[in-house]
C-alpha cells in the first residue's frame, strides 16, 4: 500500500512538472481521406476525356496532377471557400461560351458529400472551372 501511495505522489509530481500533454490530432487521424471521382467529357483533348480518381490525405489515385489538385483544394479550404458550390443565381455573368467541356465531380471532400457539375457555358462557369485547375485538367493542351 505504501508503494502505491508513493507511486501516486511521484506520478502527480511528474505530471505537474511536465505540464499538460498536448492534444492528440485525432480529427485528421480518424477522418477518412478525401476521395473524388472526376468525369471529364468534350474537352477537345481525347486524353482528358475520361474518369479520374483523386485521393487527398494522403495523395493518391490516377489523377494526372494529384499533388497539385490536392494542394489547390487545401488552399481553397484555408480560404474558407467551397469549390463545389454552384454559381449564385444572383450573379451577373458575361455571355460567352468556353466550349462544350463538362465535368462531374462526386465523392467526399472535408467530410462533405460532393456532387457537382461544371460546364464552360458563360463567364461565371468558365471562372468556376478555371479556379479548380489543376483539379479539372485544362482542355487547352
Per-residue pLDDT reduced to its tens digit, 17-47? 454 544 444 444 456 789 999 999 999 888 8
* Cα 135 from Cα 129, distance rounded (Å): 9
Q: What is the pLDDT of residue 8?
A: 46
* Cα 23 from Cα 127, distance rounded (Å): 40
- pLDDT, tens digit, 9 for 90 and up, residues 75-96: 999 999 999 999 999 999 999 9
Write the Ramachandran bin of 44: left for phi over 0, alpha for psi from -120 to 50, otherwise beta: left
12 in a structural domain: no
9 in a structural domain: no
CATH number at residue 32: 3.30.350.10
**How far from 72 is each of 5, 50, 86, 96, 119, CA to CA, in Å?**
56, 21, 18, 26, 19
Helix (H, G, I), strand (E, B) or coil at 58: coil
15 in a structural domain: no
What the block records as the C-alpha cell of 109 is 471532400
Overall domain count for the chain: 1
139 in a structural domain: no
20 in a structural domain: no
Q: What is the pLDDT of residue 31?
A: 61
21 in a structural domain: no
User: To the nearest whole number, what is the mean pLDDT of the chain?
Assistant: 82
What is the extent of the structural domain holding 36?
Answer: 28-131
Task: Determine the Cα angle at 34 with ends 21 and 31, to 5°.
Answer: 30
Amino acid at each position: 500500500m505504501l508503494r502505491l501511495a508513493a507511486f501516486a505522489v511521484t506520478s502527480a509530481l511528474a505530471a505537474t512538472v511536465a505540464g499538460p500533454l498536448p492534444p492528440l490530432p485525432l480529427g485528421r487521424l480518424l477522418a477518412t481521406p478525401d476521395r473524388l471521382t472526376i468525369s471529364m467529357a468534350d474537352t477537345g483533348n481525347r486524353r482528358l476525356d475520361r474518369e479520374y480518381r483523386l485521393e487527398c490525405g494522403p495523395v493518391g489515385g490516377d489523377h494526372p496532377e494529384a499533388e497539385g489538385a490536392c494542394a489547390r483544394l487545401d488552399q481553397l479550404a484555408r480560404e474558407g471557400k467551397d469549390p463545389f458550390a454552384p454559381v449564385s443565381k444572383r450573379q451577373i455573368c458575361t455571355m460567352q461560351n468556353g466550349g462544350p467541356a463538362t465535368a462531374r465531380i462526386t465523392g467526399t471532400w472535408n467530410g462533405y458529400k460532393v456532387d457537382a457539375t461544371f460546364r464552360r457555358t458563360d463567364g461565371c462557369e468558365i471562372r468556376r472551372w478555371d479556379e479548380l485547375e489543376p483539379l479539372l485538367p485544362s482542355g487547352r493542351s
